[in-house]
Amino acid sequence: MAGTRSAKRVAAHHGSLAEKLQQLSPKRQEIIRPVLENPRSYVLLSVRALASRLGTDPATTVRIVQGLGFTTYKDFQRHLHDLSVAYATSLDTMKAAERQGTTGPTTFVRAALHRDLQNLHALSNSLNAEKVCSLAKRLYESPKILLLGGDAATSLVHHLEYHLTVIGLPVLSATTTGRVSHVVRTVGKKDLVIGISFRRGLRQTVEGLQAAKRNGAFTLAITDTFVSPLARIADECFITSIETPSFGASYVAPMALIDAIVSALGNLRPRRILSLIRQADEEQRRGFRWYSAEY
């Protein structure tokens, strides 16, 4: 629960940042605006270096940061890091890899695998197993489960939907704008809606989760930063990194999270699962879907 409260504090602060920015003088707003609009270019700078880049002095920079609600400059830097994750593009990730000396196909292969391992390690260190089990319990109790995603995250939605279907849970998915808008109207209290989107968040997923919450459904987000709009909307969220040195996104950690959820489901009600799996066993051994080789 402590992690959830921390996430809510981060999300709430990000939500109030725009209001605090408006409370600054017009001159100070213009000084700090380039940093908030392009955080990746400023996140590693010391307060002196940042002040020099902005054409002001360190004391004024600190006062602006405090005016935005940050106690220290380090707190502001952490927020910039979260923003740089949320607003990263494929070009940003490839440029970052170049700056780190990642060049050549074989080097990129090793760097990509290394980044995947780091993402998994971060998930392993931060994941609250009790929170996963609590979600599994809620999945069993929900009269309707709706999974929202789109674009590349469609693969994650379908992976989770497949496993929930295998064990007979009442699951629906929506991965296109039209279907999202229609299906969210059918959810209400006691239902569970899971939104999966990363970085800035796909509009259909964010707005779908907003609509589901207005209807009274319990909402959960799977995303990669606490400043994600999904994290700010959802009742609970899981954070999984998708960082990679390539132009794409690494779904190794989000997939591992889904596998952890499936594992919790399997062990929470093992008799139910075994009963269903026994029914599937014969089809998996001899069903027409499978290629049959002659020995």
pLDDT of 122 reads 93
pLDDT of 183 reads 96
Mean pLDDT of 161-185: 96
* Residue for token pair 């979260």: 82
Q: Based on the structure, what is the number of domains in the chain?
A: 2
Side-chain-side CA neighbours of 276 within 13 Å: the count stands at: 13
pLDDT of 295 reads 58
Contact call for residues 234 and 222 (beta carbons, < 8 A)? no
Distance between CA atoms of residues 54 and 61, nearest Å: 9
Compare 101 and 209 and report the one with higher pLDDT.
Answer: 209
* Residue for token pair 């605090």: 20
Whether 133 and 82 share a structural domain: no
Whether 136 and 72 share a structural domain: no
* Residue for token pair 């629906």: 172
Distance between CA atoms of residues 221 and 209, nearest Å: 9
Compare 70 and 6 and report the one with higher pLDDT.
Answer: 70
Whether 272 and 137 share a structural domain: yes
Distance between CA atoms of residues 38 and 87, nearest Å: 8
* Domain that includes residue 189, residue range: 125-281
DSSP conformational letter for 100: T
Q: Is residue 109 part of a domain?
A: no
Distance between CA atoms of residues 214 and 237, nearest Å: 17
Whether 261 and 134 share a structural domain: yes
Compare 61 and 279 and report the one with higher pLDDT.
Answer: 61
Contact call for residues 255 and 156 (beta carbons, < 8 A)? yes
* Residue for token pair 């990263």: 88
pLDDT of 158 reads 97
* Burial annotation 3-23 (CB, 10 A radius, 16+ → b, else e): eeeebbebbebbeebeeebee
Compare 85 and 258 and report the one with higher pLDDT.
Answer: 258
pLDDT of 4 reads 47
Distance between CA atoms of residues 166 and 266, nearest Å: 11
* Radius of gyration for the alpha carbons in the chain, expressed in angstroms and rounded: 22
Whether 75 and 174 share a structural domain: no
Distance between CA atoms of residues 183 and 92, nearest Å: 35
Mean pLDDT of 129-139: 96
Does pLDDT of 279 surpass 90?
no
54-97: pLDDT as tens digits: 999 999 999 999 999 999 999 998 888 888 777 777 676 666 65
Whether 143 and 17 share a structural domain: no
Q: Is residue 254 part of a domain?
A: yes
pLDDT band, residue 17 (cuts 50/70/90)? confident
Nearest CA among 160, 139, 146, 128 for reference residue 254: 160
Q: Where are the alpha helices (DSSP H) in 100-153?
A: 105-126, 129-141
Per mean pLDDT, which of 76-80, 142-146, 166-170 is the most reliable? 142-146
Q: First and final CA of the chain: distance in angstroms?
A: 55
Q: Is residue 117 part of a domain?
A: no
Whether 163 and 268 share a structural domain: yes
CATH of the domain at 41: 1.10.10.10
Phi and psi at residue 221, to the nearest 5°:
-115, 140
Whether 216 and 275 share a structural domain: yes
232-250: pLDDT as tens digits: 899 999 999 998 888 778 9
Q: Is residue 112 part of a domain?
A: no
Kindly tell me the sign of the dihedral angle through the C-alpha atoms of 233, 235, 241, 247.
negative
pLDDT band, residue 284 (cuts 50/70/90)? confident
Whether 220 and 136 share a structural domain: yes
Give me the amino acid identity at 44. L
Whether 190 and 246 share a structural domain: yes
Helix (H, G, I), strand (E, B) or coil at 86: helix
pLDDT band, residue 121 (cuts 50/70/90)? very high
* CA angle 238–244–249, rounded 5-degree value: 65
- What's the chain's average pLDDT? 87
